[in-house]
Amino acid sequence: MPRIEFGAGVLQKLPSIIEGYGRHVLLVTSANSFPNSVHWQPLLDQFKQQHITWQHATVAAEPSPALIDEYVKIYAGSKFAAVVGIGGGSALDTAKAVAGLLQVQHSVMDYLEGVGLELPYQGPAVPFIAVPTTAGTGSEATKNAVLSVQGKNGFKKSFRHDKLVAEYAIVDPDLLASCPPNVIAANGMDALTQLLESFVSTRANPMTDALAMSGLQAVRDALLPLYQQQGELTQQAQYREKMAYGALLSGITLAQAGLGSVHGLASPLGAFYPIPHGAVCGTLLAAATKINIGSMQVRDPANSALVKYQQVAEILCQQSFNNQKAAFSALLETQTQWTEALALPRLSHYGLQAAHLDRVITHCRDSSMRTNPIVLSDEEVRQILLTRL
């Protein structure tokens, strides 16, 4: 787990943190959003004042293995003290993977799970510093960089190792101020899904449970009003803080406990279709919750995750329930209302058709699906997809 700096304005600590490693860094950012923000030039001015030099790489979309290999080839000769990722999940995952390979100079394909040679990664990695500018993926707290190849033979796989964990996570809620509503919606539902799935995961434990419940409360209170731009400036700042907190906890809990069926499906859907990861999470969460609960009630009624789903219902709905039936009904209604309120499109919007479901189902049994609270049949997975087609 990284050392964490959290709170409004902590971005100003970045130059001093970098100095602890050296004075020459690779900055990896989104192509436009952060470099065009009010924070970019003041940060560069701080670097100049503290005699920190940098080179700058950008990421315009979800990173591919080819992009990682290209940047490693370009920058391998530079002696960077650290790699600093500033942006959403794509920028952080790119920075994380590049930091892991600059001194190794293997293709990232040699290490990706489920494809290529799957060589054991041994490092060394250049120190990585993560500065998230969105509240969703939790990549600042995880050991995996998610890389994609999109298309008919595409895939979405992780380069994963403990050596890739960030040295520091600098989580400044002020950086969320420039996020447009559609980014807030997709990323927020990603964080919510990660918190819920890690809470009911087969690898959950008391520590991750406590963090997940705290994160769920934060996202419950902040996501919709932040998306709808409710409240005065002070209230908006509070909402950003809660969302940044919830997203950070979602990264910690998923790293420790794993995820579930929504993220299992997100891998092939994101590989085969141009579907943003957060949009997959947001549009499938209610359907996956319904199938999980129904399957456990029929095949495994003693499963402890049923009790946990009731706890989630009480957190998100902010009320107690006398029985599970009422709790589950309220939970599903709330999740569906959130999906609609956040204007998350159906999967068919991105080109998915009923005739293509078999291919998605065949490729959904990755590590995320393996920690789902119950093993779902192909037909049950199909029902999740059909609900939001």
322 DSSP 8-state letter: S
The rounded distance, in Å, linking the Cα atoms of 317 and 216 is: 11
Tokens encoding 323: 């029985």
> Looking at residue 367, what is its pLDDT?
78
Does the domain at 3-176 match CATH 3.40.50.1970? Answer given as yes
Please give the pLDDT value at position 150.
84
Residue 119 and residue 160 in contact, taking contact as beta carbons nearer than 8 Å: no
The pLDDT confidence band at residue 38, using thresholds 50, 70 and 90, is very high
Residue 306 confidence (pLDDT):
98
Tell me the pLDDT of the chain averaged across its residues: 95
- Judge contact between 250 and 257, C-beta under 8 A: no
Strand order in the sheet with 128-132: 3-6, 168-171, 128-132, 82-87, 24-30, 53-59
By percentage, how much of the chain surpasses pLDDT 70? 100
* Percent of the chain predicted with pLDDT > 90: 88
The tens digit of pLDDT for each residue in 169-214 reads 999 999 999 899 999 999 999 999 999 999 999 999 999 999 999 9
Task: Tell me what pLDDT residue 351 has.
Answer: 92
Q: Tell me what pLDDT residue 4 has.
A: 98
CATH number of 181-387: 1.20.1090.10
> For 223-243, what is each residue's pLDDT tens digit?
999 999 888 889 999 999 999
Question: pLDDT at residue 159 above 80?
Answer: yes
Residue ranges per structural domain of the chain: 3-176, 181-387
Q: Are 211 and 201 in contact (CB under 8 A)?
A: no
Residue 362 confidence (pLDDT): 94
Q: What is the pLDDT of residue 141?
A: 96
For the residues 1-13, what does the mean pLDDT come to?
96
Per the CB < 8 A criterion, the answer to whether 119 and 233 are in contact is: no
| DSSP character at residue 28 | E
Take residue 226 and report the two structure tokens written for it. 């932040």
How many whole angstroms separate alpha carbon 180 and alpha carbon 191?
A: 17
Q: pLDDT digits over 246-259, tens only?
A: 999 999 999 999 99
Classify 159 as helix, strand or coil.
strand
Asked if pLDDT for residue 105 goes beyond 90, the answer is: no
Instruction: In whole angstroms, give the CA distance from residue 223 to residue 188.
Output: 6
- Structure confidence at residue 316 as a pLDDT band (50, 70, 90): very high
* Cβ count within 10 A of residue 337: 12
